[in-house]
Amino acid sequence: MTEDPGQDLPALDDGALQDLKDDAGEAVAGAFIEEYLLMLPARAAKIFKALTREDTGESLDAVVSLRTSSAMAGALRLESYCRDLETALKQGHSPDVTAVKAVLFANIRQVIREASRRGHLPPKSQGSRP
């Protein structure tokens, strides 16, 4: 699973977040996207650790979790890659961890770049004291 056939999809589509805003309000949607972005590295690490241990069940759980949250956030390219990875795992394939890592991190960087460009990242703390 080295290729990423979802390259024609947007890294981040605002439609999903707009739907969440419409359904649950702007505060909920804002909190969701912030939490999603903050959790991306940990979710990716969980996938890598499970793949390294060749734990298919845990790998599937981690991939499905990232796929689902990515769909809710509108990270369509990342969602597509996770769907393909999930299918490969279910078919008994053992993907190359290094290749998965490269593609996942490339997708995560694109999502974060787009989220930053669109103002979805939480403000950085200034570190100043009163």
- List the CATH number of the domain containing 97: 1.20.120
String of b and e for 37-76 (b: at least 16 CB within 10 Å)? Answer: beebeebbebbbebbeeeeeeebbebbeebbebbbbbbbb
Give the per-residue pLDDT at 84: 96
The answer to whether residue 73 is domain-embedded is yes
Query: Which of these ranges, 5-19, 60-74, 114-128, has the smallest mean pLDDT?
Result: 114-128
Lowest mean pLDDT among 17-21, 56-60, 97-101, 121-125: 121-125
Q: Is residue 125 assigned to a domain?
A: no
Contact indicator for 111, 78 with CB cutoff of 8 Å: yes
Predicted confidence (pLDDT) at residue 124 exceeds the cutoff of 80: no
What is the mean pLDDT of the segment spanning 77-85?
97
Check residue 87 and give its pLDDT: 97
Q: What is the pLDDT of residue 126?
A: 47
| CA-wise closest residue to 117 among 14, 2, 7 | 14
Report the greatest alpha carbon distance in the chain.
57
Which domain does 66 fall in, by range?
A: 8-117
| pLDDT surpasses 90 at 115 | yes
Q: Are 62 and 43 in contact (CB under 8 A)?
A: yes
The answer as to whether 128 is a domain residue is: no
Q: Find out whether 44 and 108 touch, Cβ atoms under 8 Å.
A: yes
Provide the pLDDT for residue 128.
44
- How many domains is the chain built from? 1
